[in-house]
Each structure stands twice: as structure tokens, then as C-alpha cells.
Structure 1
Amino acid sequence: MEHKKEAVWRPEVHFSPNYGWLNDPNGLIKLDDEYHMFFQYYPEGTSWGPMHWGHAVSEDLIHWKELPIALYPDDMGYIFSGSCILDKENISGFGKDGEAPVLAFYTSNEATTHQEQQCVAYSHDRVNFTKYDGNPIIPGPEHSNRRDPEVIRNDIIGGFTMILTEEERIAFYHSEDLIHWEMSGSFAPGESGLSGICECPCLFRTETSEGEKWVLMISMILTEEERKKTLSVYNKSGYVMQYYVGDFDGKTFHDTEKADVPLLVDYGTDFYAGVVFSNVDYPLSVGWLGNWEYSADLPTSEEEFRGVMSLPRKLSLVKTEEGLRLKTEILTENIGFKKSRKVSDETADINAGALVLRASAGGEGEIIIGNGTHDISVKITETDYIIDRSNSGRMDFNEKYAEERLGIFRIPRQSKSGNLKLIWDHSVLEIEADNGLTPATLFAFPEKNYDRVSVKGNVTAEIFE
């Protein structure tokens, strides 16, 4: 496809659609040697529209190939977010010729009444999907927020569990056949964290030094009052991803950690709706890089797309002085960049576009990526990281994007390790700080590609490009 504008903002190593609008990752699943990523997609323009499920595959989670659209809107409504599982035993009965079907669980959203109901579709070839003629499998009322089903195997009491958002709570449903579901429990995030309209729930198990634990991740639309609770740990955005650590008894989730502050999956402005892959050996996540406060106006529409996915993230729990905390390892090995040089207290030219920078801070310092006119900086102090994108490039496309609360923000350090990894990719910055305890993701839109890195103070960095 010929694009109207020379690409300055389209990422090299992050997935974006060739054309159109993208948001939440859906149905992440590994099948044989391929990773399948479905996603919220509008193929007819770069603004949000009637949602489809787009589809892409990759062997290394970096290089993606777009496939035909998997699910189209229908008489029941738009195709909202959900999940996929491989029905290995053909419990659903959707299998054919001895082949295990792939089941896609999704929410149908009726555009006029906003009735949200849970549905299922199945595939025999992993590309083309047939919607179950008995949908919906869980009916829903009009004008509701009941969506984004995640289905997992339940090896505690048998059968399967669906995790579903219902307004300001998480609901758990149980099924023996993947078609008929009964509610088994619920969890209210506001009892020990932030509250608001819940979206895109994700429940996974992981081993820790204290034995097996479960993590529940929730994307959340905060009220103005709830935003005030995040002032010490966040950038005052109205959209966050938080997580809880606890136990799952097969029927519902129990928050056993009960942290004193909200536990955030990402501390930047532009990471949302992250979920994990099904059918993999460890928690492996991808999230949507976006923020509903301004994503509808991102200038990338000039390059015929809006919407980017994060790099893959390996998730685990580690013991800290405050308790068990989520560790995020942003996986960059398959990018293939080679080390070009080491820099310390100097400015180095870089190839315009994308890079990975590994830094070690022995004290206070600063890392600046820019082009001589615009830049984005990460300051390291004894207690905080201060991220400043207020002079990073285009700021005029949305009033909220240009506000100081989203342009300069302070993140408390959770470790004194001083190790950071920065991935800059044309318009996306992903940061892995404090050995993965403090990830942060944000956009910046320079008018021309950044072409230099400055390292100041007690910081040494290696550049890979």
C-alpha cells in the first residue's frame, strides 16, 4: 500500500495496522510455533468505528503478518474485546475431523442500546471463524458495561472460568462445556485499590518465593475523585491498569496482598488493556499503547494508522520490602539490534528511527533522546524518575495531551538498582526501570526523527540499533 506521508511516527518494531484504527489486544494465543494476536480494529478509517477483530501472526513476537479480519460486526452489534482458547478435548463440540477448534469469546455491543452480551465463535483453520448460532451465551441488559470475557481452564474445581467486567466489579463464571455459564463469584477492586468502570480483566497464575500466587490485572476508567488517589504514584491520567496479588479458589479471586497504594501495571501515560497469551509456559503479555483521553486525535492518522501494540512483556512476581510486586521484562532479544557503542556524560549521534538503550545510574543523572529541536527526557533522582515529554514534538493535536499533568510526571523509584532499559521506536518510548518493577510507556511525536542521545551525570549507557 502507498502511504500519503513519509513515515516518521510509524514504529519499526512495534505492531501497527497497515491501515486503520487499532486498540485492545484480543484473543492472544500460541498455536504450534505461531503467536496469534487478534485486536480491536476498524478497517475503514483511522478513527474509532464499528469494531471488528483484526488478526496478525508472528513467530518471534516482533515481526507480524496481518491476516484477514477474523470477526465482523453483525445484527447483535460491534465485536468488542475477548479471548481465545484451544479446545483440545473438543468439549464444546465445535471440533471437526478430529481437529481441536479454536474458540473466540467476545462481547457483542449493540450500538443504539449499548446492550453488551457475551458470545463465542469457533475456527477449524485458525483464520476463518464461525459464530455460534446459539449466541449470546451470557445475555446482558441494555445500557450496561458487561464486557471483555477472558476464559481460562480451571484445574482447581474442573471445567472453565470466565472473568468478565460488570460495571465497577469483576464477575467470575463457571462452565463445564464452554457454552452454558453460571456465576461463581465476584471481586470489587475498590475495596483495596482504585475504583471505576472495569475493562479487559486478566487472571493468571505464577510461582513465587512464597509459593503459587494469582495476579488479577484490570484496566480501569477512573472518576475525577479516584484520580486524586494516584497523585503520588501516577501521572493523573483517567485511564490506568492496576493489578492485585492473591489467591483463586476456583470460584472467585481473593486479594491477599492488600497493598497500601494502588499497584500499577505501567506507570506511563500510554499503556492499557494488557492481557496475557493463552497456551504458553509463562505469563506473556501485550498491551495497547494508547490513552482514551486523546488517542482519537493522534497525528499518526497523517500516516494512515492510529494504534500501536506494546512489545511483548514477560511477567512475574518478586518479593520486595513492600510485598510481592509485578516484575515486567520487556523482551527485545528478537529485534536484532547490535551494540553500537557505550556513552557516558556525552551526546552521541544515532541512526534515526529505533534503538534500545541499556543504562546504569550510579547516582543522579539524565537521558535525553532528541533531534536538536525537540526531545524527551528521563531524569533519575535519588527517589524518583521524572519523565518530560513537554517539548517532544507535536503537541497541538489535543488539549489534554498538551496539559502538564500528562506531559511531565514523577514516578517513585521502587529499587536502588539504577538499571534501566529504554526502547525508542519513532513515536513510542517503553521504559523498564528498577529491574522491571517500574515500567513506563508513552508517546512522543517529533516533527523529524530523533537523531541523538545525551547522557548526563552519573549515568553510563549502551546503545543498540
Structure 2
Amino acid sequence: MTAATATTADTFRPALHYAARNTWLNDPNGLIFHDGVYHLYYQNNPLDNVWGNMSWGHATSPDLVSWTEHPVAIACDEQEDIFSGSIVFDRDNTSGFGTESAPPLVAVYTSAFKSGSAHAGLQAQSLASSCDGGYTWTKHNGNPVLNRGSAEFRDPKVIRYDGGAGSYWVMVAVEATDFQVVLYRSDDLKNWEFLSTFGPANATGGVWECPDLFPLPLDGDSEQLKWVLTVNLNPGGPNSGSAGQYFVGDFDGTTFTSATTVTEGLQDPARLGEYQWLDWGRDYYAAVSFSDAPNDRRLMIAWMNNWEYANQIPTSPWRSPMSLAREISLRTVDGRPRLIQKAAGDLSAPSSIGRPFTLERMEISDCTRVLDGAEGSVQRIDLTLTPGSAEEFGLIVRANGAHGTRIGIRPAQGTLHIDRRTSGRTDFHETFPSIDTAPIQPIGGSYQLTIYVDRCSVEIFSQDGQVTMTELIFPAPTNTDLAVYAIGGTAIINSLHVDQYV
């Protein structure tokens, strides 16, 4: 967890989310659980709080909530920037970078070669190894280990495949501007053999980046194992700018086959809402999952920002937080497999921080009502609502009376929305003040929301994690009201519970 007390110069530093101490970060990289510790590496500019000088920053956590920042793990140099990638525990020392008794961690990353390099202008895949648990790294003398002669070949996620085709390493990377995922195999992480490609498919409104590939049981049944391919894109998200999509299907060790593709080739703009999105908000990008998470949990973290305005958000001296870690599963919903997402880690509020606020059944009618005793700047809100005659109803968080971030439901349109036009600071970029929507349908006639509010963000998990929305906000420190509202009729608050964190 980052600093719990904001200073005047650091009003927006999150309490529940990781942010670097005084530098820029973007894509999470190399997520791995190793020797009882969660390691979060990330794209980092160690010299400034805007994008540049790309290196791998590093933080660790015992619980996915409290994070400790460490020195830069893999630094850029005069030959290359260190772009995104992944880390594996080479437990059988297939790479030869460790020993049988002390196997290494191996980072597979994209070398973005600079003008002074023999590979100037190209992006290719390289290796670094660590024999001290991931704290210091040595670049491989034989880098790059996979070079396609491409300027847009990046973001390798490496997994260990054990199946009918054998046992070997599989790399999932992208040819970004071709909207293609490319797959390779290796026995030693150094020599790679081409397997297949996937795409273009579904959303292709921007370059493809940061893919991931992993198995999940459908509906908790290990006999129904499905493979999930995620791929992020920028721009082209459902509400403009950066976003991530996913496909569900099968992987036979060579080829991924999607069972959920809506459009082959370049996207049909009219069908954007039919694609399967990791998150419908504006600020959830470059999401990837942890390797070797305990108990076979699939845990994911994303960069909580959007390339439309990423370098301009009003934070200092740091810039950009990560999302909460999420545990994801696969469930059949309306006849098709869908990812279900819930916040991971123990996010229960300390008992020493204020009294929880609880409200049982309240009808609201064409009004906005500030809830006395529910104010706060960092909160978890659990809410169940039943529609009446209102056109729209919901909550206003981090509010000053009726002004704040509006989280609303419009039953007739079947939408959940976040309206941040009066959320606080919005003047730093023309696209930031927005109304963003996601599809939502009632379950048993009601809507259920779990909302994590932090000093610069809201993350919404709705309908038991079927639909998520993540967005940055920059309210004044004094804007701490929580209000409920209905427009054009009535709605019922069945239950509302608020835990305060700070």
C-alpha cells in the first residue's frame, strides 16, 4: 500500500493501489509469485514522471495489498529501452542460467533498439536472469534471442505448456500493427520455433499489445478446461482510448482457436459493444496475470490509465497507479463463457478506522440525498438497488453535495455508467470529462455493485463481477460526501454498506 496520508503536494496518491514513489509507471510486467512473495515489475521511467527511458521498476508484496518499492530491476542503456515482458521460474534450469540446486528466474522482455544499436529501429525479444529471487538481474550475452526484423514485435508472455503435444515453453507476443498474436515454442528459452498466429479479430481500432494466454475451468469444473487469450489495444476501447479484450477457446500446444470471436479481420464499428472486454472503463490497460500464483489462482493487474491523457494527469511527483489485483474465473452467462472478476487480497478495512455505515431499504424519488455519516475519501461500498419508475438512479461518490463522480444505472437502456464531468480536476485534457457506459442487466430484478473508491480512482465490480468499470478521478480533498439519487421517478436502495479505509 502506498502512503496512507496525502500531503498538499500529493493529494491524489492512492491508499489502496500501488504507485511509484516519485516516477512514471505504465504496463505491469513480469508478474510472478515466488518464494512466498508477489513480484510486480512494470514499465518505469526512473528519471522523470512522464513516459521515457523505459526500464523495469519493481515492487513486492506479501498479500497483494501492501507494496514495497525496490530499485530499478532492469535498466535501459545506450543500446535499448526495456519494453514489456514476463518472468518465469525456470525450475528445471532449462536455460542453464542457474544450477540444478538453484534454478533461476528468467525475464523475457522486448528490446526496443536505439539508433546506436546494430538492430536500430527493431523490436525483438531478449532475456535476463536472476539467481537471488528477482532483485538483481543479468542480461543474456546472446540477446536478442528472437528477432523477426520487425519494428512492432513486442510484449512476450511466456508460459509453461504441459499437454498432449508435450512439455515446453510457449511465448505469446504481438505484431502490434498487424493485429496479430504470434506464438512460439522453446525447450530452453533461448531458441524459439514459430507455432502459429491468431487475429485480426474483434476489436482492431488500435495497435494490439500485452497479450496473455492461460487455462481456466469453466463453471469450476476441471473437466471443462478452456483457454483464455487476452489482448490489449490502444486506441479502440469501448469508451474511447485504451482497453483490453479477451477470447475464450482451446489451445492444443500449437494453435489457439477462439469460440467467442464476433468478427474476423478488422472490426465492425457497429459491433464494438458485442466484444468481450476485460473492463468497460477508460482506465484499465495492459492487464496481464501472475505466473505461479498459489492454489492455481488466476490473478491479474492492469495499468490504471489511458494513453489519451496518461502524461497529463495531475499527479506529482509520481504519475499513474496500478489497478487492484483481481482474481478471475470463467462462468457460463447467458449461454457463453465470460470472465468473472473480483478484487483479490484482503481489503477489509481496519477496525480502527471509523465506524462502518449501513443503510437498510430506502426509497428515493426524483432527488439527490447526501448520506450523513457515510462520507470518506477511501472506501469500499456494497450496494443493492431495485428499479422503480426512475429513468436513472445510483450513487455520487467523492462528492460535494450533488457534484462528484456519478455512478448510475439506466434500466431502459440496460447500461451502467460513470459520469466524471464534475468529478473534480478535469481540465488537464479535453477527453477526460466523460460519460462512459457498460451493458448491465438485472439479476432477480436487482443490481448489485461493489465499488472501491480511492483518492484518484473508482473500480466497480457489478453483478457478482460480471461487468467491471475502472476510471481515474481527481476530486478535491474536501469532496468526501456520498449521495444517492434518482432521476425521473423512484428507486429502492435495498442495502448499502460502507467501509472506511482512511
| Corresponding position: 1:435 with 2:438 | no
Q: Contact conserved, 1:219 with 1:273, CA < 8 A, in 2?
A: yes
User: Aligned partners of 2:248 and 2:129: how far apart in 1?
Assistant: 32
Correspondence for 1:122: 129
* Pair 429,114 (structure 1): closer, same or farther in 2 beyond 3 Å: farther
Q: Contact conserved, 1:206 with 1:282, CA < 8 A, in 2?
A: no
Correspondence for 1:398: 429
Which whole-Å deviations, capped at 9, do the CAs of 1:309-363 have from their partners, x for residues lacking one?
Answer: 1111011111111411111112363353456021345513445431000000122
1:452 positional shift: 1.4
Whichever residue aligns with residue 462 of structure 1, its letter is: H
1:418 positional shift: 1.1
Question: Unmatched 5+ residue regions in structure 1?
Answer: none
| Corresponding position: 1:155 with 2:162 | yes
* Pair 238,372 (structure 1): closer, same or farther in 2 beyond 3 Å: closer
1:82 positional shift: 0.3
* Pair 140,414 (structure 1): closer, same or farther in 2 beyond 3 Å: farther
User: Aligned partners of 1:414 and 1:114: how far apart in 2?
Assistant: 48
Q: Report the secondary structure of 1:462's partner residue.
A: strand
Q: Contact conserved, 1:414 with 1:438, CA < 8 A, in 2?
A: no
Q: Contact conserved, 1:194 with 1:262, CA < 8 A, in 2?
A: no
Which whole-Å deviations, capped at 9, do the CAs of 1:213-263 have from their partners, x for residues lacking one?
Answer: 0111100124xxxx5xx7xxx32x132200000000101211012347211
Q: Contact conserved, 1:337 with 1:356, CA < 8 A, in 2?
A: no
Correspondence for 2:175: 166
User: Aligned partners of 1:332 and 1:249: how far apart in 2?
Assistant: 32
Matches within 5 A, 1:59-74: 59-74=62-77
Paired residues, number: 447
Correspondence for 1:86: 89
1:173 positional shift: 0.2
| Corresponding position: 1:329 with 2:349 | no
Correspondence for 2:398: 370
1:45 positional shift: 1.1
Correspondence for 1:317: 330
Matches within 5 A, 1:228-307: 234-235=238-239, 237-259=240-262, 261-280=274-293, 281-300=296-315, 303-307=316-320
1:121 positional shift: 0.3
Whichever residue aligns with residue 461 of structure 1, its letter is: L
Correspondence for 1:462: 497
1:414 positional shift: 4.4
Q: Contact conserved, 2:395 with 2:406, CA < 8 A, in 1?
A: yes
1:25 positional shift: 0.4
Correspondence for 1:354: 378
Question: Unmatched 5+ residue regions in structure 2?
Answer: 263-270, 486-490
User: Aligned partners of 2:231 and 2:441: how far apart in 1?
Assistant: 21
Q: Contact conserved, 2:63 with 2:345, CA < 8 A, in 1?
A: no
Q: After the TM superposition, which of the residue ranges 246-255 and 441-450 deviates more from structure 2?
A: 441-450
| Corresponding position: 1:51 with 2:64 | no
Picking from 403, 417, 436, the partner of 1:386 is 417
Q: Report the secondary structure of 1:348's partner residue.
A: coil
User: Aligned partners of 1:146 and 1:53: how far apart in 2?
Assistant: 18
1:400 positional shift: 2.1
Whichever residue aligns with residue 317 of structure 1, its letter is: L
User: Aligned partners of 2:169 and 2:447: how far apart in 1?
Assistant: 42
Q: Report the secondary structure of 2:372's partner residue.
A: strand
1:283 positional shift: 0.9
User: Identity of paired residues, percent?
Assistant: 33
User: Aligned partners of 1:424 and 1:455: how far apart in 2?
Assistant: 15
User: Aligned partners of 2:261 and 2:21: how far apart in 1?
Assistant: 43
User: Aligned partners of 1:37 and 1:66: how far apart in 2?
Assistant: 9
Q: Contact conserved, 2:399 with 2:405, CA < 8 A, in 1?
A: no
User: Aligned partners of 2:427 and 2:448: how far apart in 1?
Assistant: 34
Q: Report the secondary structure of 1:296's partner residue.
A: helix
Whichever residue aligns with residue 36 of structure 1, its letter is: H
User: Aligned partners of 1:74 and 1:28: how far apart in 2?
Assistant: 23
Q: Contact conserved, 1:29 with 1:36, CA < 8 A, in 2?
A: yes
Q: Contact conserved, 1:171 with 1:185, CA < 8 A, in 2?
A: yes
Which TM-score applies when normalising by structure 2?
Answer: 0.85
| Corresponding position: 1:409 with 2:417 | no
Pairwise CA RMSD of aligned residues? Answer: 2.1
* Pair 358,195 (structure 1): closer, same or farther in 2 beyond 3 Å: same
Whichever residue aligns with residue 492 of structure 2, its letter is: N
User: Aligned partners of 1:114 and 1:13: how far apart in 2?
Assistant: 39
1:34 positional shift: 0.7
| Corresponding position: 1:342 with 2:367 | no
Q: Contact conserved, 1:46 with 1:306, CA < 8 A, in 2?
A: yes
Q: Report the secondary structure of 2:356's partner residue.
A: strand
1:53 positional shift: 0.3
Q: Report the secondary structure of 1:309's partner residue.
A: coil
Q: Contact conserved, 1:352 with 1:449, CA < 8 A, in 2?
A: no
Q: Contact conserved, 1:53 with 1:70, CA < 8 A, in 2?
A: yes
Q: Contact conserved, 1:147 with 1:165, CA < 8 A, in 2?
A: yes
Whichever residue aligns with residue 280 of structure 2, its letter is: Y
User: Aligned partners of 1:212 and 1:189: how far apart in 2?
Assistant: 24
Q: Report the secondary structure of 2:400's partner residue.
A: coil
Which TM-score applies when normalising by structure 1?
Answer: 0.91
1:449 positional shift: 4.1
User: Aligned partners of 2:142 and 2:348: how far apart in 1?
Assistant: 44
